[in-house]
A = this chain, B = another copy of it.
């Protein structure tokens, strides 16, 4: 086990599990980091046991004499030098990246009846969204507004200017290409929103039109490919904020974000790609040149057929996907044909929480 002496004192004390330091009901800390005394140091250390009788180490602190009892298992897992911590499940490190061939035989899907009745099936389906970026629910009741009930099985609907839900069908006076029969190439939705809706649901009520097939592309995989093939282009796309914009009579949304968002360690964390809503970039000519070359290159890469998983939504299918990672597309369809989806947005933090609680309860045998 890594040594307790190697632990930075402020870090170790900030993790004191005693009920004066941490609310036993919810784990919230009850003190401020600024309240800890100057010159804080481990005074004495001795073997101890927790209230449950588990082996532990007791630290008495100087100068304030506070006592902290750390279970050995906690120290083994958390002391500096212990195995790396899991992330929050949102960067490329926590994902299984895929191309079409890699997924062909194992599209993550679940039957609505099983999903609704069986916590283990529900957990597996939600795991698909976290690991692969999507899940396809089959046999969902073909019912108006059902998509909102699907969203509520794992989280909260994110209402937008398109409403609590939106109708994807041919409209007489569409304010968005989505509401026509046009082909739509791979894109993420609402890049002009910040925070962008992190999940999208598409529930198929009717799909009798010629055309109107669906496609999904793993944007994290595509960005990783770009990084390998053209590191300079990748770098430009992580560094140049792009002015996304959408305006109609009631709305004037804009967000300046890079096409490829990374975390402070440089890991891919968020893709925004939507040719329809990129506004006018105003930068020196050299940056515009570099950006447009990189943007085009990434756009070409995203159109590679081997990256796109093609399928056809049939009535009762409900696709749930990560809008910060997957790009979705559809082929054109005859406007006279009958095709009707209902869509909604939601957020992935709530889905991840629901999944974590399901796993916790399954492990404890509570469900």
Report A's interface with B, CB cutoff 8 A. 6-8, 10-11, 14-15, 23, 25-34, 36, 78, 80-82, 84-85, 87-90, 156-161, 173-177, 185, 192-196, 198, 238-241, 243, 245-248, 250-256, 258, 263-265, 275-278, 280-285, 288-289, 291-293, 295-296, 299-300, 303, 347, 349-350, 352-353, 356-357, 360
Q: How far is the CA of A296 from the CA of B283 in the complex (A)?
A: 38
Q: How far is the CA of A29 from the CA of B352 in the complex (A)?
A: 34
Q: Tell whether, in the assembled complex, residue A8 and residue B285 are in contact, meaning their CB atoms are under 8 Å apart.
A: yes
| A352 nearest CB across to chain B (Å) | 8
Q: How far is the CA of A80 from the CA of B286 in the complex (A)?
A: 9
Q: Tell whether, in the assembled complex, residue B246 and residue A26 are in contact, meaning their CB atoms are under 8 Å apart.
A: yes
Contact (A285, B347) CB under 8 Å given A195-B198, A248-B25, A353-B161: no
| A330 nearest CB across to chain B (Å) | 14
Q: Tell whether, in the assembled complex, residue B158 and residue A158 are in contact, meaning their CB atoms are under 8 Å apart.
A: yes
Using Cβ atoms and an 8 Å threshold, which residues of chain B touch A82? 282
Q: How many copies of this chain are found per oligomer? A: 2
Contact among B33, B78, B278 with A280 in the assembled complex (CB-CB below 8 Å): B78
Q: Tell whether, in the assembled complex, residue B264 and residue A241 are in contact, meaning their CB atoms are under 8 Å apart.
A: yes
Q: How far is the CA of A300 from the CA of B289 in the complex (A)?
A: 45
Q: Tell whether, in the assembled complex, residue B357 and residue A299 are in contact, meaning their CB atoms are under 8 Å apart.
A: no
Q: Tell whether, in the assembled complex, residue A80 and residue B283 are in contact, meaning their CB atoms are under 8 Å apart.
A: yes
Q: List 16 other contacts, CB 8 Å, given A28-B246, A89-B254.
A: A8-B289, A11-B291, A26-B175, A27-B245, A27-B247, A32-B185, A32-B299, A78-B280, A81-B285, A193-B347, A195-B347, A241-B263, A252-B353, A253-B352, A254-B352, A258-B264
Using Cβ atoms and an 8 Å threshold, which residues of chain B touch A8? 285, 288-289, 292
The 7 nearest A-B residue pairs measured at CB: A195-B195, A85-B282, A252-B356, A10-B292, A156-B159, A80-B285, A88-B256
Q: How far is the CA of A196 from the CA of B265 in the complex (A)?
A: 20
Q: Tell whether, in the assembled complex, residue A159 and residue B157 are in contact, meaning their CB atoms are under 8 Å apart.
A: yes
Contact among B33, B245, B252, B288 with A299 in the assembled complex (CB-CB below 8 Å): B33
Closest residue to A293 on the B side, CB-wise?
B10
Q: How far is the CA of A269 from the CA of B245 in the complex (A)?
A: 19
Q: Tell whether, in the assembled complex, residue B195 and residue A353 are in contact, meaning their CB atoms are under 8 Å apart.
A: no
Q: Tell whether, in the assembled complex, residue A195 and residue B349 are in contact, meaning their CB atoms are under 8 Å apart.
A: yes
Q: How far is the CA of A174 from the CA of B11 in the complex (A)?
A: 27
Closest residue to A22 on the B side, CB-wise?
B276
